[in-house]
């Protein structure tokens, strides 16, 4: 040791697709929202997996493109387009869950004698990310969370990590 307090380490985790399985939940939500529009429009023969992949490629987190995507796949009723978008947003956390070992890992890290602080850094809108953290029961598992939507800086910009160091009062 170099004379530093051994319990001075900060460990940071990401939220989406590190602690929770956001990608699987997103695909599930898209399958339901887009699949229902296809079924109700008698277009159920469209390859739903291809449609979901195309939606993610077009915009991984939004639904503004649903009308054009559905129109191109035979769903011409604007009410079906809007219904798909409404369902997708109303159920924004449908299927979202922690990875099976996420809590055990967080708790094991926290129990390490050399770890002084455990934090969370996540990109995204503040309200959405805070709601996810609450839903997943993570507030009691971390000392703090930094959300890019609040800070105005996204990973991998060094500023978001500097903010974490300052929040944890960690040595630089």
Edge-to-edge strands, sheet with 115-122: 9-13, 115-122, 144-147
Spatial CA neighbour of 30 closest among 111, 88, 76: 88
pLDDT at res. 172: 64
How many other β-carbons are positioned within 10 Å of the β-carbon of residue 138? 20
Mean pLDDT of 1-19: 77
Are 13 and 119 a contacting pair, CB within 8 Å?
yes
Residue range 28-46: mean pLDDT, rounded: 86
The Cβ-side half-sphere exposure at 69, using a 13 Å CA radius, reads 28
The overall average pLDDT reported for the chain is 92
3-state secondary structure of 80: helix
What's the pLDDT at 169?
A: 82
pLDDT in tens, 73-97: 999 999 999 999 999 999 999 999 9
Report whether 84 contacts 13 (CB < 8 A): no
Q: What pLDDT shows up at residue 171?
A: 66
Q: Is-contact 145 19, C-beta < 8 A?
A: no
* Residue 138 pLDDT > 90: yes
pLDDT over threshold 80, residue 170: no
Structure-token pair, residue 157 = 């910009």
pLDDT at 44 over 70: no
Residue 30's nearest CA partner among 99, 69, 84, 75 is: 84
Residue % of the chain over a pLDDT of 70: 93
DSSP at 120 = E
- Between residues 8 and 162, the one the model is more confident about: 162
* 82 CB-near residues (< 8 Å, 6+ apart): 67
Do the beta carbons of residue 34 and residue 52 sit within 8 Å?
yes
């Amino acid at each position: 040791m170099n004379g530093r307090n051994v319990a001075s380490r900060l460990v940071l985790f990401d939220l989406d697709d590190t602690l929770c399985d956001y990608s699987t939940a997103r695909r599930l939500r898209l399958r339901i929202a887009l699949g229902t529009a296809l079924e109700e429009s008698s277009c159920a023969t469209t390859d739903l997996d291809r449609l979901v992949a195309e939606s993610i490629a077009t915009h991984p987190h939004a639904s503004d493109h649903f009308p054009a995507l559905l129109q191109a796949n035979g769903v011409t009723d604007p009410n079906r387009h809007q219904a798909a978008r409404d369902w997708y947003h109303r159920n924004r956390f449908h299927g979202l869950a922690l990875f099976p070992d996420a809590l055990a890992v967080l708790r094991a890290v926290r129990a390490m004698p050399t770890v002084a602080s455990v934090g969370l850094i996540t990109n995204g809108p503040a309200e959405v990310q805070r709601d996810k953290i609450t839903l997943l029961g993570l507030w009691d598992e971390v000392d703090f969370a930094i959300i890019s939507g609040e800070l105005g800086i996204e990973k991998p910009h060094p500023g978001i990590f500097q903010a974490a160091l300052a929040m944890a009062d960690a040595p630089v």
